[in-house]
């Protein structure tokens, strides 16, 4: 047997933010359509997706939730996998950057690059935001302030490892010149060339010492590998690169298609090829940077969520309400090739009503109903053709070729447009042939049967061609035509018109996409979204009210409490306690031991080096047999989230708080 050609396709790996919305489903749904399409076209497909789990942001979120990062992320990953299962995403592997194999692969990649002189140690200088513990470049600042929290930043230096990206400027330019297909759509090439390559690439900082939720550099453990080497390497670590079990790497690398969105194209089309060149590895064949789904006109990054008042955006809610086929169809059809698309409740409902209910659903319903009504469900075998049949038959038999061309050009909406052109033509064919008139004339039985057969056969081709895009209704359509849908594993049967038996029996199914009363539905959805919002706000209000009001005190009462800034030197868990941590803190010249109930919120290692606010004149107490010489001041919100207080800018420990 001839060996199948391979096709390796990847999505970016997702941050485990938990705030997933419809926009996040776009890349993965598109990849799933490609994976299904290629499988049906006879390829041996490997479809990779996963999660990008390291970095300070996620560590902070875990802390806020009172959990260690890994168990916190486990819960979110489970939710993401639930979304993928609801959307019928057929990935072959789900990689997590916290997987042992990935960690070990990244460490080896880092070592290899260091040994080859592609990575060197130097000092990173940038604008540092103390509360966010983040470095920013000049261009990232917003009006000279931290782009995340809007506070003052200061010029700081940190020891870091750098990847010699600068040396790859010409090589990447040559890559684009020699392989015009490498980066798609073409407009992205100009962006990369004008914005990054022409000005010249600068070396890339690839390690950090200011946080520790990351992959440690194996030969210099105070550094963790910083974001992009960690994240991008997933595409090869998932295949077993540099491990003993590297058959998948041998078989599937290089990737055939890295699907990404436009804001991360630079990483995939410049940094990633440079890393691969440095590792002497073959380059991916194609990188595609799609546009965004703008929710109510916004990219819907978290900071903008507030602007979105009434759009229903959660994939689970949407699939529950309209079914995953409708959601998948909207995503695949609505974002034009290479540019942005807009989501509103209304645009989704219009797509459902127009394309799915009026065009496809209607064709299915009327074909089933007419065959049932005119022939009791089973067609007779006599035939009588007419010239009007030719266009429909031609379009249906040519559909496979048209869809293949659109998919080869990575144009998924165009592939769907082609399929729906045939659906529309078939609906028009019903009007052209007027079966309701034919049925009245007994001598036209054969003609009527031919018309019905052409409709059923067109539906069969349409249903098979829809299989990569919609995952439920094509099988229902095929089932109604007496075709065993689970046996349709490829496109072989759509290359000829006339595969259904002449005496096909067609059974009726409930409407696939019932028409929605848009105005009524919009009102319901808006009410639902607003009610959810209110519910959330109410919960917070109630909790705040529950807090007890303490009696007034005088300034002299307050002055009795001595508060000072302290720096955490050491932190460890108190055995058998799920709340307590034992800390060693420095308060000016003095060192003390404190036991604090913050274990649920903080990993001990995270606290080391942090500045905290302490009550220093509190009578010592013993907690679990350990003496606590003071108390760390924390805030607890309505939901039980805990955070210690810290000075807004670094200040000498021992400083008084008043
Ligand atoms: N972790 C990085 C990718 C590292 S790849 C080595 C990341 N993660 S993400 O969770 O922010 O995004 C995951 C995918 O969702 C990206 O392709 C991103 O562009 C996509 N989308 C998120 N919001 C989107 C829209 N509103 N519209 C379309 N896709 C968008 O980036």
Segment 274-298, tens digit of pLDDT: 999 999 999 999 999 999 999 876 6
The Cβ of residue 619 has, within 10 Å, a number of other Cβ atoms equal to 6
pLDDT, residue 542, reads 60
| Residues 6 or more apart in contact with residue 289 via CB below 8 angstroms | 183, 184, 185, 188, 260, 261, 262, 264, 265, 268, 269, 338
Angle at 608 between CA 654 and CA 72, to 5 degrees: 135
Closest CA relative to residue 264, chosen from 188, 332, 352 = 188
Question: Which stretches of 217-344 are DSSP H helices?
Answer: 228-232, 234-237, 247-252, 265-266, 272-278, 315-322, 324-334
268 C-alpha vs ligand 1 centroid, how far in Å?
12
User: Is a pLDDT exceeding 80 seen at residue 551?
Assistant: no
Average pLDDT, the chain: 92
Closest CA relative to residue 433, chosen from 363, 380, 386 = 386
Mean pLDDT score, 354-365 = 98
Tell me, using a 6 A CB cutoff, whether residue 83 lines ligand 1.
no
The preferred substitution site among 14, 53, 106 for testing ligand 1, maximizing ligand atoms within 8 Å of CB, is 14
24 C-alpha vs ligand 1 centroid, how far in Å?
6
Mean pLDDT score, 562-572 = 94
Tell me, using a 6 A CB cutoff, whether residue 341 lines ligand 1.
no
Residue 254 pLDDT level (bands cut at 50, 70, 90): very high
How far apart are the C-alpha atoms of 640 and 65, rounded to whole Å? 8
How far apart are the C-alpha atoms of 30 and 26, rounded to whole Å? 6
How far apart are the C-alpha atoms of 263 and 266, rounded to whole Å? 7
Residue 260 CA, closest ligand 1 atom number: 17
Lookup: tokens for 379: 């067609």
pLDDT, residue 273, reads 98
Q: Sign (positive/negative) of CA torsion 230, 236, 239, 241?
A: negative
User: Is a pLDDT exceeding 60 seen at residue 303?
Assistant: no
User: Is a pLDDT exceeding 90 seen at residue 137?
Assistant: no
76 C-alpha vs ligand 1 centroid, how far in Å?
16
Residue 534 in contact with residue 626, Cβ under 8 Å? Answer: no
Residue 544 pLDDT level (bands cut at 50, 70, 90): low
Q: State what percent of residues in the chain have pLDDT above 70.
A: 95
Which amino acid residue places its CA nearest to atom 10 of ligand 1? 14
User: Is a pLDDT exceeding 60 seen at residue 244?
Assistant: yes
Tell me, using a 6 A CB cutoff, whether residue 299 lines ligand 1.
yes
pLDDT, residue 534, reads 83
Tell me, using a 6 A CB cutoff, whether residue 24 lines ligand 1.
yes
Mean pLDDT score, 464-493 = 97
How far apart are the C-alpha atoms of 29 and 89, rounded to whole Å? 7
Tell me, using a 6 A CB cutoff, whether residue 227 lines ligand 1.
no
Residue 294 CA, closest ligand 1 atom number: 26
User: Is a pLDDT exceeding 70 seen at residue 216?
Assistant: yes
How far apart are the C-alpha atoms of 644 and 649, rounded to whole Å? 15
How far apart are the C-alpha atoms of 377 and 482, rounded to whole Å? 11
As a whole number of Å, the CA-based R_g of the chain is: 31
Q: What is the pLDDT of residues 603-645, one digit of tens each?
A: 888 898 999 999 999 888 888 888 899 999 999 877 777 889 9
Residue 67 pLDDT level (bands cut at 50, 70, 90): confident
Q: State what percent of residues in the chain have pLDDT above 90.
A: 74
Closest CA relative to residue 109, chosen from 277, 258, 233 = 233
Which amino acid residue places its CA nearest to atom 25 of ligand 1? 23
> Among 180-189, 306-315, 553-562, which range has the highest average pLDDT?
180-189
How far apart are the C-alpha atoms of 356 and 70, rounded to whole Å? 42
């Amino acid at each position: 047997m001839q060996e199948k050609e391979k096709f390796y396709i990847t999505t970016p790996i997702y941050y485990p933010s938990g705030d997933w919305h419809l926009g996040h489903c776009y890349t993965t749904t598109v990849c799933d359509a490609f994976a299904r399409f290629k499988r049906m076209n006879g390829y041996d497909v490997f479809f990779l997706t996963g999660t990008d789990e390291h970095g300070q942001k996620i560590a902070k979120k875990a802390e806020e939730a009172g959990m260690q990062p890994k168990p916190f992320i486990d819960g979110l990953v489970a939710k993401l996998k639930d979304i993928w299962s609801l959307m019928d995403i057929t990935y072959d592997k789900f990689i997590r950057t916290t997987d042992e194999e990935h960690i070990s692969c990244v460490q080896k990649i880092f070592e290899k690059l260091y040994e080859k002189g592609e990575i060197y140690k130097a000092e990173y200088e940038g604008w540092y935001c103390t509360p966010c513990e983040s470095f920013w470049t000049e261009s990232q600042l917003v009006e000279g302030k931290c782009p995340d929290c809007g506070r003052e930043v200061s010029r700081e230096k940190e020891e870091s490892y750098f990847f010699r990206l600068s040396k790859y400027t010409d090589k990447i330019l040559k890559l684009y010149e020699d392989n015009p297909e490498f980066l798609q759509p073409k407009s992205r090439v100009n962006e990369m060339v004008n914005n990054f390559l022409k000005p010249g690439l600068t070396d890339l900082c690839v390690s950090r010492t200011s946080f520790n939720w990351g992959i440690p550099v194996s030969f210099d453990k105070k550094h963790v590998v910083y974001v992009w080497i960690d994240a991008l390497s997933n595409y090869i670590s998932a295949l077993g690169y540099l491990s003993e079990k590297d058959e998948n790497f041998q078989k599937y690398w290089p990737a055939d298609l890295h699907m990404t969105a436009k804001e991360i194209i630079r990483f995939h089309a410049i940094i990633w090829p440079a890393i691969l060149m440095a590792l002497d590895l073959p380059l991916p064949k194609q990188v595609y940077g799609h546009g965004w789904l703008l929710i109510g006109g916004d990219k819907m990054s978290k900071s903008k969520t507030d602007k979105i008042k009434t759009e229903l955006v959660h994939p689970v809610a949407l699939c529950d309400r309209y079914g995953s086929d409708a959601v998948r169809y909207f995503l695949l059809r609505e974002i034009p090739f290479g540019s942005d698309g807009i989501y509103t409740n209304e645009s989704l409902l219009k797509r459902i009503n127009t394309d799915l209910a009026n065009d496809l659903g209607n064709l299915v319903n009327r074909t089933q109903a007419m065959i049932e009504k005119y022939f009791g469900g089973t067609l007779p075998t006599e035939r009588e053709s007419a010239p009007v049949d030719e266009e429909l038959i031609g379009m249906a038999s040519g559909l496979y070729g048209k869809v293949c061309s659109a998919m080869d050009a990575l144009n998924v909406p165009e592939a769907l447009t082609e399929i729906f052109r045939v659906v529309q033509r078939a609906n028009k064919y019903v009007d052209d042939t007027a079966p309701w008139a034919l049925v009245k004339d007994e001598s036209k039985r054969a003609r009527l049967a031919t018309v019905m057969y052409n409709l059923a056969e067109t539906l069969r081709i349409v249903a098979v061609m829809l299989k990569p895009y919609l995952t439920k209704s094509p099988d229902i359509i095929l089932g109604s035509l007496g075709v065993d849908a689970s046996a349709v594993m490829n496109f072989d049967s759509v290359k000829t018109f006339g595969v259904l038996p002449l005496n096909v029996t067609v059974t009726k199914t409930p409407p696939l996409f019932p028409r929605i009363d848009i105005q009524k539905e919009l009102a319901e959805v808006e009410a639902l979204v607003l009610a959810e919002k209110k519910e959330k706000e109410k919960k917070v209000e109630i909790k705040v009210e529950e807090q007890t009001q303490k009696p007034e005190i005088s300034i002299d009462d307050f002055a009795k409490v001595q508060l000072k800034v302290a720096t955490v030197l050491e932190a460890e868990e108190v055995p058998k306690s799920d709340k307590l941590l034992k800390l060693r803190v420095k308060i000016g010249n003095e060192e003390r031991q404190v036991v604090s109930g913050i274990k649920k919120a903080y990993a001990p290692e995270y606290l080391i080096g942090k500045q905290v606010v302490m009550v220093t004149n509190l009578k010592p107490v013993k907690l679990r047999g350990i003496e606590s010489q003071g108390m760390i001041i924390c805030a607890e919100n309505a939901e039980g989230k805990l955070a210690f207080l810290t000075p807004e800018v670094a200040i000498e420990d021992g400083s008084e708080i008043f």
